[in-house]
Amino acid sequence: MKTFRVPPNRWLFVRAETNDGIVGWGESTLEGHTEAIEGAFNDLWRFIGVEADNIVDIWQVFALDSLRGPVLMSALSGLDIALWDIKGKRHGIPVWKLLGGKIRDRIKVYGWIGGDQPSDVLDAAKNRKAEGFTCVKMNATDIVARIDSPEVLRGTVERVQQLQSVGLDVGIDFHGRFHKGMAKQLAKLLEPLHPLFIEEPLLPTQPEEIADISHLVSTPIALGERLYTCFDFRPYLERRVIDIAQPDVSHCRGITELHRIA
Ligand SMILES: [Mg+2]
């Protein structure tokens, strides 16, 4: 097993090779924290020499023996994905077939356009449109104060209107940057514009408060890139809080757990 950093050190890929020469690739990217993941891999080298076909056994030994957090779980994700890749190649079957087969031939995608620098958003959106995208996603704001000026809220609304005026659908990522007071206000102001979704209205340390916002507006609520297990998703599903689950396969302990979450 070997890890590979991809400049500018945002991405981390994992290569695992079996004795008989089958190579699998996985991804352990943790939004720029590549050195932390490399450190975590020092704990995963102990699996060198085990039977690569026993994915769930390897997964359980590491997952159940580790404290659960983004670093260790992202490392495990990369190994898990690489092991599924190896299994598919060994049997000559794509992983999606091993998991039960195809459901659709095409999916709708959005283009990310940033948003931390509000002045750049419209140009970025026009570029995405030229590339053929019909939807874009942006951060609602840069960092905001606990209770900031209403101007911040108006700025976000104006940007969404600008993007819609060039014919694009828009998803808004609050990125957990707002505190509850302003998150409520902004969700209300955005509701009449029909954004595709609001992502992470608050940080997922606050399932009850996120539930309040979810029940306050009709806008679909998306969340999940900071949740690592099916158990982490449970409170949101039980409270009917999220409309779009967003597990990140590079954080949520790989394809094995992603399938359980789904
Ligand atoms: Mg996000």
pLDDT single digits (tens) 128-146? 999 999 999 999 998 899 9
| Centre of ligand 1 from the C-alpha of residue 50, in Å | 36
| Centre of ligand 1 from the C-alpha of residue 113, in Å | 12
Residues 92 and 116 in one domain: no
Residues 94 and 116 in one domain: no
Task: Assess if residue 209 is contained within a domain.
Answer: yes
What is the pLDDT, as a whole number, of residue 66?
82
For the domain that residue 196 is a member of, what is the CATH number? 3.20.20.120
Residues 217 and 139 in one domain: yes
For the domain that residue 28 is a member of, what is the CATH number? 3.30.390.10
| Centre of ligand 1 from the C-alpha of residue 89, in Å | 32
How many CB atoms sit inside 10 A of residue 62's CB? Answer: 20
Residues 119 and 51 in one domain: no
> Measured at the alpha carbon of residue 121, what is the angle toward residues 120 and 123, in degrees to the nearest 5?
70
| Centre of ligand 1 from the C-alpha of residue 67, in Å | 24
* Average confidence score pLDDT of the chain: 95
| DSSP code per residue over the chain | -EEEEETTTTEEEEEEE-TT--EEEEE---TT-HHHHHHHHTTTGGGTTS-TT-HHHHHHHHHHHS--SHHHHHHHHHHHHHHHHHHHHHHT--HHHHTT--S-S-----EE---SSGGGHHHHHHHHHHHT-SEEEEES-SS--TT--HHHHHHHHHHHHHHHHTT-EEEEE-TT-S-HHHHHHHHHHHGGG--S-EE-SS-TT-HHHHHHHHHH-SS-EEE-TT--SHHHHHHHHHTT--SEE---TTTTTHHHHHHHH-
Task: Assess if residue 58 is contained within a domain.
Answer: yes
Per-residue tokens: 246: 């967003």
- What's CA 25's distance to the chain center, in Å? 19
What is the pLDDT, as a whole number, of residue 121?
93
Residues 76 and 128 in one domain: no
| Centre of ligand 1 from the C-alpha of residue 201, in Å | 10
Domain limit, last residue, from 48, 64, 98 = 98
Task: Assess if residue 22 is contained within a domain.
Answer: yes
231 confidence band (pLDDT: 50, 70, 90) = very high
Residues 67 and 146 in one domain: no
Task: Assess if residue 105 is contained within a domain.
Answer: no
- The larger pLDDT score, comparing residue 118 to residue 180, is at 180
| Centre of ligand 1 from the C-alpha of residue 199, in Å | 6
Task: Assess if residue 81 is contained within a domain.
Answer: yes
Q: Quote the domain boundaries for residue 149.
A: 111-223
Task: Assess if residue 244 is contained within a domain.
Answer: no
What is the pLDDT, as a whole number, of residue 9?
82
What's the domain count of the chain? 2
147 confidence band (pLDDT: 50, 70, 90) = very high
Task: Assess if residue 24 is contained within a domain.
Answer: yes
